[in-house]
Structure 1
Amino acid sequence: MAKEATKAKPSSVPWLVMASAKGGSGKTTAARNLAVLAAEKGHNVLLLDLDRQQTLTQWFQRRPAEAKTLSLATFPLKDIEAALPDIEAGISEEGISLVIVDTPPGVEEQASSVRMLLKRAKLVVIPSGQGTPDLAAVIDWMRFLKQEKVDAAFVLNRVKRSARSYDRAKLTLNEAGPLCPIEVRDLEDIQMTYDHGLGVAEVKGAGGADDFRGVWQYVSQRMGV
């Protein structure tokens, strides 16, 4: 299987990867909300859940039948080499136009699998909180991505704008690499939509919808999709 996987020809379909060296940064929240917005723009989206906790998969299973259609494949990151032939075949057969990937925490500990994933990444989104431990972890990760010549951008997540750490976090991340100009606020509406299998943009009047619309606009322009 490993030999077949190395021969899997990458499709021209862009891959958007959510990845961070720290757990709890908001990768899954970003993946599900950006997937919904991409689908609203007409993309046929394939979600890849590579996290053993399968939080994205559980959200997907809660989606109402009338919600925008998304596709999903679930397997651990360590199995990506073996899974790639089937993934690439499915992309072609199902007319997928965008792949969005949710990764586990501590991706830097699976160097071989991570590098295989990064070869397909059009853009890596690095969600981050505004606390010092969050910033230190994601800055190290951005440094690694730059060494690998992978296009990446920070997105500040669960932001409390009234906190003193907010301005410091923006300055720190801007110095370390590209930072999405739109951040995602720490709003209960964003978290509550998980229980219903929805993105925040699918709930009328929900707080945080414009936050993710702004992030999607930035990401889609960076990727050219």
Structure 2
Amino acid sequence: MIRVLVTNLKGGCGKTTIATNLAGAFARGGLATALADVDRQQSSLEWLKLRPAEAAAIQALDWRKSVSDESSGVQRLVIDAPANLRMKEVELLIAQADIVIVPVLPSIFDEGSTRRFVRRLDEIKPIRKGKKGVLLVANRLRSRNRATQRLEMFLGEIGMPAVARLADRALYAELATQGLTVFDPQAGRASLQGEQIRAEWRPLLRAIEDEA
């Protein structure tokens, strides 16, 4: 089993969107998938309630009060962490994960927060010793935007280039209201746009398999 934690102490960087779409990609690929929600707002759990019965199944795990054992047979576990956790809480979640994904937005505020967060992650023993990988995802990008260019420079400065670059698209929010992801055939949007979006995710999916 591969266990993926999606986390950043900064709120509003798209953690739940990335977590739900990752779970959708794994499930659509025929893997037994579970999605653990740690956020008191229950965003992932509420999203799963909207998921159509004909969509690829994703098991719901409620980790808001305590971490529970995954059901037997799960091949991919995605953990959706809330913002503003204490580092001790982050460490407990990292102990449950094989890979840590950190979304970051093209924003000066996200840069500072991410810089501090990555430094603190590097102090955690399994990450410092290379036993658990950390993957940065540049999220909600707009082409030829100064903020996007600045983000690329920032990631180069901290020596952690983004493994994937996801464009800012309204389709994610539209699909979320239906419990769907860009990987679900029920998405119902033009196939060309859907394929372009899925292509943006492939580097991240490959990196996850390579890190595991």
Q: Smaller-chain TM-score range?
A: 0.7 to 0.9
Matched, 1:186 2:168: yes
Contact 1:152–1:178 (CA<8 Å) still a contact in 2? no
Among 79, 97, 116, the residue aligned to 2:92: 116
Over residues 177-200 of structure 1, what are the superposed CA-to-partner deviations in whole Å (9 max), with x where a residue is unaligned? Answer: 433343000011122110110011
Query: 1:98 offset after TM fit, Å?
Result: 1.3
Name the structure with the higher helix share: 1
Name the structure with the higher strand share: 2
SS at match of 1:190: helix
The number of aligned residues is 199
Among 112, 117, 141, the residue aligned to 1:141: 117
SS at match of 2:98: strand
2:77 corresponds to: 99
2:138 corresponds to: 156
1:172 corresponds to: 154
1:201 corresponds to: 183
2:48 corresponds to: 60
Please list every run of 5 or more consecutive structure 2 residues that lacks an aligned counterpart in the other structure. Answer: 128-132
The code of the aligned residue for 2:16 comes to T
Distance 2:79 2:144 in 1: 32
Distance 1:189 1:70 in 2: 20
Contact 1:139–1:173 (CA<8 Å) still a contact in 2? no
SS at match of 2:164: coil
Distance 2:159 2:31 in 1: 28
2:10 corresponds to: 22
2:205 corresponds to: 216
Contact 2:136–2:164 (CA<8 Å) still a contact in 1? no
**Mean alpha-carbon deviation: is it higher for 64-73 or for 146-155?**
146-155
The code of the aligned residue for 2:181 comes to G
The code of the aligned residue for 1:197 comes to G
Distance 2:165 2:137 in 1: 6
Structure 1 pair 49–177 and aligned structure 2 pair: CA distance change class (3 A): farther
Identical pairs, percent: 26
SS at match of 1:158: strand
Distance 2:205 2:165 in 1: 11
**Mean alpha-carbon deviation: is it higher for 183-192 or for 168-177?**
168-177
